[in-house]
C-alpha cells in the first residue's frame, strides 16, 4: 500500500484521495457506535448533545439513565430473560450443530451439499417468515408465550452458525493425527476425546459465541412467539424506541457495545489459537 | 499357502474388498447418524412450521365448516347464467346460518369473505342477528323472500357467486390479492382498481431499496476491503476491528444510534445548524422515510460486504498487478483489466448475501422507515398481528420466500453454501 518513490504527482494525489475516502468510510462505520457512548451520559432526556455537554460542563453529564436501567425491574427481568434464553438455546444449538459438523466433514458423507443447504436454511430465510411460520405452528402445540418455545426457536436460528464455524475448523483438520493415534493403539473414543476434541474446541467455543449472540440479539421471533414473560433486552429496546424514547436505551446500548467488544476479542483470540493448534500460519 | 490368484483377505478371513465396503458403509452410516439429530430438529422446529404456513395461503376450509349443507347444494348452481340459486340453496343457507349464528361463528365467515369484497362482514353480522331469532314454523313466505327481506344483497347474483367461488377447500384468492389481482363476477382474473393496488408497488419498492443498499455497500465496501487486503497484516488486523465491531454490535443498538444521529433534533441536524449550513427551521428530515432506511441498512449490512470481498482480495497475488505495470499498463488500466476482474467473485458473493439479507429486513425499516421506507416484511407482520388476515400474510411470505430461495440457489452456485465463512 505504501507509495513508491517514483510515483507521479497524479499517483500521489490519487493515493491520498483514496486514503481520505477510506478514512471517511471508516468514520461512517464506527461513528454511529461511538456517538452513543457520550450521549448515554446526557443529564437531559434528549438524544442529542446539549450545550452543557459540548462545553464539557460536568453538570451536563450524569449517570441517571444507568441508574434507571439498574433500578427498573422490567429492564432487570429483560436481562435475566435474555441470558436464560440465550444460554439454553446455545447449549442446544452447540450440541446438535457440533455433532452434525463432525458428520458433515467426513469425506464419505452422501448428499453433502443438499443436507448442508437445508441445515443452513434458517440463516437465509427472512426472519419474518421464520417468525410467522413458528407463530402458527407453536400456537397449535401450545408453546406460544413459553420460554421453551422461544429457546427452541432461537436454537433453530443459531445452529447454522455453529455448523458453519465448526465445519470450517474441521476442514483444516489434519486427519493423519487421528490415524496416528489409532496406529499407536488408541481406541476410537479415546482418539476422539484426546485428539479431536482439543483441536476443535476453539471452533466449538466460537460457534457457541455466535449462537449466543444470535439469540441474545434476536427480536423478530421473540416478538411473535413470546408473551410479556419472555420480554428480552432487544424486545424492550424495540418497544422503547417505538413508545417513549428515553436515553435509557442509549445506556443499555452502551452496555451492549461493551459486551460485543468482549465477544469480538474472545472470538478473535479463539480463531488465532485454533489456527496455531492446527498448524495454520495466520495471514 | 495362498496362491496369487486368490483374493486378498483380512485377518478374519473375509475378502478385503468386502471388508472395505463394509467399513465404508459403516462410516457413511455413522456420519448420517451424527447429522440426524440436527436434521430432525430443523425439520420439526423450522421447515415444517414454514411449510405449514405456506399452506395457509391456499387453505380455505372455513366456508365448508360453517355452511356444510349450503356448500353441497350451491355446487350445482352456475353463476354464469346470471340467475339466483334455487329455493333449496336459500333453505340450506337459512338452516346452516341459524346453527352458525347460535354458535356465534357466522361472523367469522363474514370476516373471511370481507377480504374478497367489502360489505360482507356487516351483511353476515346482520343476517346472523336475524337468523338467531328466526323460527321456521312462523315462515309465511319462501326462504328466498325471507332472506332477501333480511338484506337485499341476498337477491344479488354477485353475492352468491362469491360464496360459490369461495366454497372450496382451497382458494387462490390470497395469492391473487398478494399480487394485486382479483377475480371478477365471471371468475376471470384481472388487475385491481389502480388506487387499491399496493403490493406490486411494495415488492418493487423492496427490491429497489435492496438494490440500492447492495450498490451502496459495494461502493463503500470495495475501497475498505482493498485497503485491508493490501496493508501489512499488523495494520490491517487493527483496522479490521473497525469492521468487526459494528458486525458484532446488536442490530437495535445500531438502529437506535442512527435514530440519535438522524432525527430532527438529532446530532447531524444540530451540527449542521450550529455550523450554519442550514437554518433552524429547515432541518433535514432524514428519518421515518426511505432515506433513514437506506442509511441505517447500508451501515448494518456493510460488514457483510467487506468480509467476503476481503477474503477474495486476500488471495489475489500482488505480482499480477506488478506484471501488468511492468509491461506498461497505467495504474488505472492494471486495476481495471487485471485486479478488478479477479474480485468479481467476491462482489457477487457479498452482493447476493447483502441483497438476501436486506430483502427480508424487518426491524430497521419498522423503526426508521416511516411510510415510504417500509418493506414487504413490515406488511407481513402487520397482517399477522394487526389485521389478522393470515392467509394474505402467508401468500406474501411465500412470494418473498420464493425470491430469497432463488437468490440462495444462485449464491450456492456462485460460492457454495459449504464455503460460507464467518468473521
Mean pLDDT of A12-21: 92
- Phi/psi at A137 (nearest 5 deg)? -70, -45
**C-beta of residue B67 within 8 angstroms of C-beta of residue B100:** yes
Quick one: pLDDT band at residue A246, thresholds 50, 70, 90? confident
Residue A276 counted as domain residue: no
Rounded Cα distance between B160 and B164, Å, is: 6
- To the question of domain B199-419 being in CATH 1.10.3720.10, the answer is yes
Rounded Cα distance between A30 and A27, Å, is: 5
Lowest mean pLDDT, pick from A20-29, A47-56, B199-208, B388-397: A47-56
The verdict on A206 touching B (C-beta cutoff 8 Å) is yes
Residues of B (186-215) whose Cβ lies below 8 Å from A: none
Q: Of the candidates A46, A37, A35, A43, which has an alpha carbon nearest to the alpha carbon of residue A63?
A: A43
Give residue B156's pLDDT: 87
C-alpha cell at A149: 418455545
Do A110 and A227 belong together in one domain?
yes
Does the distance separating the beta carbons of B256 and A234 come in below 8 Å?
Answer: no
Do A186 and A46 belong together in one domain?
no
Give residue B1's pLDDT: 46
Give residue B263's pLDDT: 87
Does the distance separating the beta carbons of B47 and A119 come in below 8 Å?
Answer: no
Mean pLDDT of B116-128: 87
Do A81 and A37 belong together in one domain?
no
Do A52 and A163 belong together in one domain?
no
Q: Of the candidates B362, B373, B218, B367, which has an alpha carbon nearest to the alpha carbon of residue B294?
A: B373
Do A164 and A224 belong together in one domain?
yes
Q: Tell whether the model's pLDDT for residue B421 goes beyond 60.
A: no
- N-terminal to C-terminal alpha carbon distance within chain B: 61
Work out the burial of residue A61: count CB atoms within 10 Å of its CB; fewer than 13 is exposed, 13-18 middle, 19 or more buried. Answer: middle
Quick one: pLDDT band at residue A156, thresholds 50, 70, 90? very high
Give residue B225's pLDDT: 94
The overall average pLDDT reported for chain A is 88
The verdict on A16 touching B (C-beta cutoff 8 Å) is no
Report the number of distinct structural domains present in chain A. 2
Q: Of the candidates B58, B34, B55, which has an alpha carbon nearest to the alpha carbon of residue B168?
A: B58
Do A83 and A160 belong together in one domain?
yes
Do A39 and A134 belong together in one domain?
no
Does the distance separating the beta carbons of B377 and A128 come in below 8 Å?
Answer: yes
Task: Collect all residues with Cβ–Cβ distance below 8 Å to A238 and sequence separation of at least 6.
Answer: A219, A223, B252, B363, B367
Residue A270 counted as domain residue: no
**C-beta of residue B376 within 8 angstroms of C-beta of residue B179:** no
Do A38 and A117 belong together in one domain?
no
Residues B11, B16, B21, CA angle at the centre, nearest 5°?
125
Quick one: pLDDT band at residue A188, thresholds 50, 70, 90? confident
Q: Smallest Cβ distance to A257: which of B249, B331, B362?
A: B249
Q: Could you please report the per-residue DSSP string of B228-256?
A: HHHS-HHHHHHHHHHHHHHHHS-HHHHHH
Q: What CATH number should be reported for the domain holding residue A169?
A: 1.10.3720.10
Give residue B185's pLDDT: 67
Do A47 and A125 belong together in one domain?
no
pLDDT digits (tens, 9 = 90+) for B384-396: 988 888 899 999 9
Residue A264 counted as domain residue: no
Question: How many residues appear in chain A?
Answer: 283
Quick one: pLDDT band at residue B87, thresholds 50, 70, 90? confident
Assessment of whether the complete model's pTM goes beyond 0.80: yes
Do A97 and A220 belong together in one domain?
yes
Residue A144 counted as domain residue: yes
The phi-psi region of residue A56 (left if phi > 0; otherwise alpha if psi is between -120 and 50; otherwise beta) is left
pLDDT digits (tens, 9 = 90+) for B130-179: 888 888 887 888 888 888 888 888 888 888 888 888 888 888 889 988 88
pLDDT digits (tens, 9 = 90+) for B39-68: 999 999 999 999 999 898 898 888 888 888
Do A53 and A103 belong together in one domain?
no
* Owning domain of residue A19: 9-60
Q: Smallest Cβ distance to B412: which of A117, A122, A161?
A: A117
Mean pLDDT of B3-9: 63
- N-terminal to C-terminal alpha carbon distance within chain A: 16
ipTM of the complex: 0.87
Give residue B203's pLDDT: 92
- Phi/psi at A12 (nearest 5 deg)? -60, -50
Q: Tell whether the model's pLDDT for residue A2 goes beyond 80.
A: no
Q: Of the candidates B240, B242, B217, which has an alpha carbon nearest to the alpha carbon of residue B229?
A: B240
**C-beta of residue B169 within 8 angstroms of C-beta of residue B142:** no
Rounded Cα distance between B175 and B13, Å, is: 65
Rounded Cα distance between B163 and A228, Å, is: 40
The verdict on B254 touching A (C-beta cutoff 8 Å) is yes
Does the distance separating the beta carbons of B50 and A129 come in below 8 Å?
Answer: yes
Kind and range of the H or E element at B313?
helix B290-314
- Phi/psi at B330 (nearest 5 deg)? -75, 165
Lowest mean pLDDT, pick from A38-47, A138-147, B205-214, B311-320: A38-47
Does the distance separating the beta carbons of B302 and A29 come in below 8 Å?
Answer: yes
Q: Tell whether the model's pLDDT for residue B24 goes beyond 50.
A: yes
Residues of A in contact with B302 (CB under 8 A): 28-29
Instruction: Give the position of cell 468386502.
Output: B18
Residue A283 counted as domain residue: no
Mean pLDDT of B184-207: 83
Up-side HSE of residue B116: CA atoms within 13 Å toward CB?
24
Q: Tell whether the model's pLDDT for residue B5 goes beyond 60.
A: no
Instruction: Give the position of cell 355452511.
Output: B67
The verdict on A13 touching B (C-beta cutoff 8 Å) is no
Q: Smallest Cβ distance to B34: which of A36, A100, A282?
A: A100
Q: Smallest Cβ distance to B27: which of A48, A108, A120?
A: A108
Residues of B in contact with A242 (CB under 8 A): 367
Amino acid at each position: 500500500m505504501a507509495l513508491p518513490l517514483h510515483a507521479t504527482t497524479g499517483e500521489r494525489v490519487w493515493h491520498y484521495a483514496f486514503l481520505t475516502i477510506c478514512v471517511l468510510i471508516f468514520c461512517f462505520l464506527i461513528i454511529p457506535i461511538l456517538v452513543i457512548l457520550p450521549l448515554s451520559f446526557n443529564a437531559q432526556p434528549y438524544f442529542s448533545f446539549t450545550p452543557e455537554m459540548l462545553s464539557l460542563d460536568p453538570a451536563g453529564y450524569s449517570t441517571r439513565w444507568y441508574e434507571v436501567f439498574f433500578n427498573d425491574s422490567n429492564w432487570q427481568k429483560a436481562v435475566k430473560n435474555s441470558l436464560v434464553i440465550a444460554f439454553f438455546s446455545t447449549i442446544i444449538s452447540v450440541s446438535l450443530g457440533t455433532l452434525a459438523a463432525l458428520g458433515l466433514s467426513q469425506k464419505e458423507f452422501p448428499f453433502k451439499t443438499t443436507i448442508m443447504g437445508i441445515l443452513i436454511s434458517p440463516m437465509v430465510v427472512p426472519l419474518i417468515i421464520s417468525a410467522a411460520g413458528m407463530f402458527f405452528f407453536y400456537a397449535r402445540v401450545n408453546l406460544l408465550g413459553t420460554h421453551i418455545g422461544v429457546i427452541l426457536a432461537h436454537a433453530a436460528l443459531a445452529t447454522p452458525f455453529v455448523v458453519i464455524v465448526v465445519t470450517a475448523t474441521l476442514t483444516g483438520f489434519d486427519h493423519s493425527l487421528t490415524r496416528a493415534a489409532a496406529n499407536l493403539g488408541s481406541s476410537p473414543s479415546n482418539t476422539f476425546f484426546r485428539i479431536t476434541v482439543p483441536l476443535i474446541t476453539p471452533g466449538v467455543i466460537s460457534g457457541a459465541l455466535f449462537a449466543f449472540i444470535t439469540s441474545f440479539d434476536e427480536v423478530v421471533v421473540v416478538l411473535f412467539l413470546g408473551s410479556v414473560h419472555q420480554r428480552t433486552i432487544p424486545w424492550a429496546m424495540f418497544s422503547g424506541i417505538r413508545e417513549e424514547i428515553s436515553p435509557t436505551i442509549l445506556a443499555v446500548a452502551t452496555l451492549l457495545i461493551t459486551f460485543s467488544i468482549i465477544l469480538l476479542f474472545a472470538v478473535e483470540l479463539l480463531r488465532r489459537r485454533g489456527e496455531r493448534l492446527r498448524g495454520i500460519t495466520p495471514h | 499357502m495362498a496362491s496369487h490368484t486368490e483374493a486378498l483377505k483380512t485377518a478374519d478371513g473375509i475378502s478385503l474388498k468386502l471388508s472395505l465396503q463394509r467399513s465404508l458403509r459403516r462410516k457413511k452410516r455413522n456420519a448420517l447418524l451424527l447429522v440426524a439429530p440436527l436434521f430432525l430438529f430443523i425439520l420439526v422446529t423450522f421447515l415444517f412450521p414454514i411449510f405449514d404456513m405456506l399452506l395457509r395461503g391456499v387453505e380455505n376450509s372455513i366456508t365448508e365448516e360453517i355452511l356444510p349443507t349450503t356448500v353441497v347444494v350451491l355446487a350445482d348452481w352456475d353463476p354464469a347464467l346470471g340467475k339466483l340459486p334455487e329455493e333449496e340453496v336459500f333453505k340450506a343457507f337459512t338452516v346452516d346460518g341459524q346453527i352458525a349464528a347460535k354458535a356465534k361463528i357466522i361472523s367469522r365467515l363474514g370476516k373471511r369473505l370481507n377480504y374478497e369484497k367489502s360489505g360482507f362482514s356487516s351483511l353476515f353480522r346482520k343476517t346472523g342477528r336475524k337468523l338467531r331469532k328466526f323460527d321456521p314454523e312462523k315462515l309465511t313466505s319462501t326462504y328466498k323472500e325471507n332472506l332477501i327481506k333480511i338484506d337485499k344483497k341476498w337477491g344479488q347474483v354477485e353475492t352468491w357467486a362469491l360464496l360459490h367461488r369461495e366454497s372450496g377447500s382451497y382458494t387462490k384468492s390470497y395469492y391473487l390479492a398478494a399480487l394485486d389481482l382479483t377475480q371478477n363476477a365471471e371468475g376471470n382474473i384481472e388487475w385491481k382498481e389502480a388506487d387499491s393496488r399496493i403490493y406490486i408497488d411494495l415488492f418493487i419498492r423492496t427490491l429497489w431499496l435492496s438494490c440500492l443498499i447492495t450498490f451502496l455497500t459495494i461502493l463503500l465496501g470495495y475501497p475498505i476491503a482493498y485497503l485491508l487486503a493490501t496493508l501489512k497484516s499488523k495494520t490491517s488486523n487493527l483496522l479490521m476491528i473497525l469492521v468487526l465491531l459494528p458486525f458484532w454490535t446488536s442490530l437495535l443498538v445500531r438502529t437506535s444510534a442512527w435514530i440519535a444521529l438522524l432525527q430532527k433534533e438529532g446530532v447531524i441536524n444540530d451540527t449542521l445548524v450550529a455550523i450554519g449550513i442550514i437554518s433552524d427551521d429547515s432541518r433535514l428530515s432524514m428519518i421515518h422515510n426511505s432515506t433513514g432506511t437506506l442509511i441505517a441498512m447500508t451501515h448494518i449490512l456493510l460488514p457483510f460486504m467487506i468480509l467476503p470481498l476481503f477474503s477474495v482480495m486476500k488471495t489475489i497475488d500482488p505480482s499480477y498487478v506488478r506484471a501488468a505495470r511492468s509491461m506498461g499498463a497505467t495504474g488505472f488500466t492494471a486495476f481495471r483489466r487485471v485486479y478488478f476482474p479477479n474480485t468479481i467473485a467476491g462482489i457477487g458473493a457479498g452482493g447476493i448475501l447483502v441483497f438476501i439479507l436486506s430483502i427480508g429486513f424487518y426491524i430497521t425499516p419498522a423503526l426508521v422507515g416511516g411510510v415510504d421506507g417500509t418493506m414487504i416484511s413490515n406488511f407481513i407482520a402487520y397482517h399477522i398481528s394487526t389485521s389478522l388476515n393470515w392467509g394474505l400474510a402467508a401468500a406474501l411470505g411465500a412470494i418473498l420466500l420464493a425470491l430469497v430461495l432463488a437468490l440462495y440457489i444462485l449464491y450456492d452456485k456462485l460460492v457454495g453454501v459449504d464455503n460460507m465463512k464467518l468473521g
